[in-house]
Amino acid sequence: MDETMTDLGVDAPKSKRFDLIGLANRRLSSLGCVIGWIVSTICFFGVSFALGGPSEGDATESAYSTWAIEHGRFACTYFHLTGATFAHPLRPDALMAPLYPLVAGAFAALFRIGSHTPFPTIAQMGPHCVNAVAAMSHWQYNSAAIMPTINLSYLVWPVLLTAIIVLVRASGQGHTGWEVVAGLTAGCSPLIFDSFVGFFHPEDILALSLIMLGLAATLNRRWLLAGVWLGLAFTSQQFALLAALPLIFVIPRHARVKYCAWFVVAVAVVDLPLVVATAGRGLRVVLLGSSRVGSQIRSFGGTVLWELNLHGVLLFCVARVAPIVAASVLAWWCARRLGPAILEPVSLLSLIGTCLAVRMVFEVNLYGYYFMATGVMLVMLDVAMGRIRGQTFAWLGLTTIAFNPVHDGFYSNLTAWSATLHRAVPIALIAVGVLAIVIDVAHRRFQFYKWLWLVVVTLTVSPRLFGGLEVFINTPNWAWQVILSPTALLLLAGPVMSSIRTSDQRLIPSASLQANPQ
């Protein structure tokens, strides 16, 4: 019996039951692929509208930079935050890396957002842009520019969908049902909407899309393009280094100079002009983005590292430097053990997905959208393998329960059904989990991970969903980190480690033959 089918509670292909894997492997015409893209897009926008669309969330991290770029005030793209004394949601606590504000600013200028109200002059923003926040806040109050600016984040979807299609095809699964599976999964992914609707971090989605384009270029041996895509990903979100640096150890030696050179060129083209225009004020942002790790601002993430109460340089080294070092060492070791085989689609996606997930072990904060890159890479890995692992969907479901993407208020995108949907999401997931176990029982199967999933959910989900008053276990963020991070690492690293074991087993007989030629 096929193990993948068993995970989904579906009998082997010889059964009269519906063959999901066979359908996914079926070749699609160009028209079929286009229809799949359209359906995925409809799902994405349909779910977005149902959830109320993008929220303010952390929009101030990009909005002020977007408006400054829109009106050509590049000198005030980045400014000192110490003078910002406005109440939330107008007060910027951090600023975003340059790529998304540049793209959003260009489209804001194209759509003439807020053009009916005169934008502040450089003089009104004050020397060194000390009054930039006050001046632009006053302008947006009169122009009502905030929501049209936030809605520009819908532009990340075509980039994400394109990256998914390109990577699926580079993995050898293009023009099949897997292309549709990958698009639909992204279009309905709760982790994507946690980044988009809940907290407003479109730069994370943009960065992941560019990373996937870089991986597709790597699989196609297009080293120049790989460097450009990964360089652009770094200018969108600095966690891209977790993929960019390990690739140095993966690609052939003769291509490393070209890859690194074009990575630097892409970063310089985007970042350097803004650093010069802002008289160096943008330097910290282009290097660290919106991260406040190591600063005097106390976070509220509640992770294991946060509980250790580290500060300053030590905290920065552990939270930001350590995962990059760990990912690079892992990539070096895997490349050394597998050789050129590391560039096979499954091995490469497994390795880079693991490198991206390493971040979650060292994080000082923990929010649902932090798991977005890990969740998408899990799905892409499954697609590359041509398998649907039940463990992947169990992990995605558990992450959704831990960090419900449907917020229950506080933002302008609150709908009449938000509170009901917030409670319905975990109930629906629990129902699916119970149904999977019932199907297993009916077919006399026992899969431990499903029962363990149900136990964890039962102990951690709030009985308020069912009319109760108290939770069984008030699960802190660090507990979810301990549950979700290692399981994600196991799921992502499994295929590449399996390839290494297989390679070692092949080498043992060869060594024996050389030692005993007779």
SS3 482: helix
pLDDT bucket at 414, cuts 50 / 70 / 90: low
For residues 510 and 382, which has the higher predicted lDDT (pLDDT)?
382
What gap in Å lies between CA 410 and CA 261, rounded to an integer?
Answer: 46
Looking at residue 469, what is its pLDDT?
A: 45
CA distances from 59 to 89, 104, 152, 187 (A): 8, 12, 11, 22
Is 372's pLDDT higher than 80?
yes
Looking at residue 182, what is its pLDDT?
A: 92
Looking at residue 323, what is its pLDDT?
A: 94
pLDDT bucket at 6, cuts 50 / 70 / 90: very low
Helix 253-277 × helix 241-250 angle, to 10°: 150
Q: Enumerate residues 6+ apart whose C-beta is below 8 A from 319.
A: 293, 294, 305, 362, 363, 364
Is 16's pLDDT higher than 50?
no
For residues 511 and 217, which has the higher predicted lDDT (pLDDT)?
217
Looking at residue 3, what is its pLDDT?
A: 42
Query: For the segment 374-403, what is each residue's pLDDT rounded down to a tens digit?
Result: 999 999 999 999 988 899 999 999 998 888
Is 518's pLDDT higher than 60?
no
pLDDT bucket at 410, cuts 50 / 70 / 90: low
Looking at residue 321, what is its pLDDT?
A: 92
What share of the chain in percent tops pLDDT 70? 85
Nearest C-alpha neighbor of 195 from the set 185, 207, 184, 179: 207
What is the average per-residue pLDDT within 143-159? 92
Neighbours of 504 (CB within 10 A): 10
Q: Enumerate residues 6+ apart whose C-beta is below 8 A from 172.
A: 345, 384
pLDDT bucket at 355, cuts 50 / 70 / 90: very high
Looking at residue 413, what is its pLDDT?
A: 66
Q: Are 103 and 72 in contact (CB under 8 A)?
A: no
Looking at residue 266, what is its pLDDT?
A: 97
Is 28's pLDDT higher than 70?
yes
The pTM is what?
A: 0.90
Looking at residue 5, what is its pLDDT?
A: 39
SS3 91: coil
Measured CA angle at 26 (ends 21, 32), to 5 deg: 125
Query: For the segment 234-257, what is each residue's pLDDT rounded down to a tens digit?
Result: 999 999 999 999 999 999 999 999
Query: For the segment 419-472, what is each residue's pLDDT rounded down to a tens digit?
Result: 777 778 888 888 899 999 999 999 898 999 999 998 888 888 765 555 544 555
Looking at residue 118, what is its pLDDT?
A: 93
Neighbours of 19 (CB within 10 A): 18
pLDDT bucket at 111, cuts 50 / 70 / 90: very high
pLDDT bucket at 511, cuts 50 / 70 / 90: very low
Q: What is the DSSP letter of 470?
A: S
SS3 176: strand
Looking at residue 1, what is its pLDDT?
A: 36
Catalogue the long-range contacts made by 420-426 (C-beta closer than 8 Å, 24 or more residues apart): 421/50, 421/51, 423/464, 423/465, 425/190, 425/400, 425/401, 426/400, 426/401, 426/457, 426/461, 426/465
What is the average per-residue pLDDT within 277-297? 75
Is 87's pLDDT higher than 60?
no
- Average pLDDT of the chain is 85
What gap in Å lies between CA 494 and CA 281, rounded to an integer?
Answer: 43
SS3 27: strand
For residues 190 and 438, which has the higher predicted lDDT (pLDDT)?
438
Three-state SS string across 246-284, please? HHHHHCCHHHHHHHHHHHHHHHHHHHHHHHHHCCCCCHH
Q: Are 323 and 357 in contact (CB under 8 A)?
A: no
Is 18's pLDDT higher than 50?
no
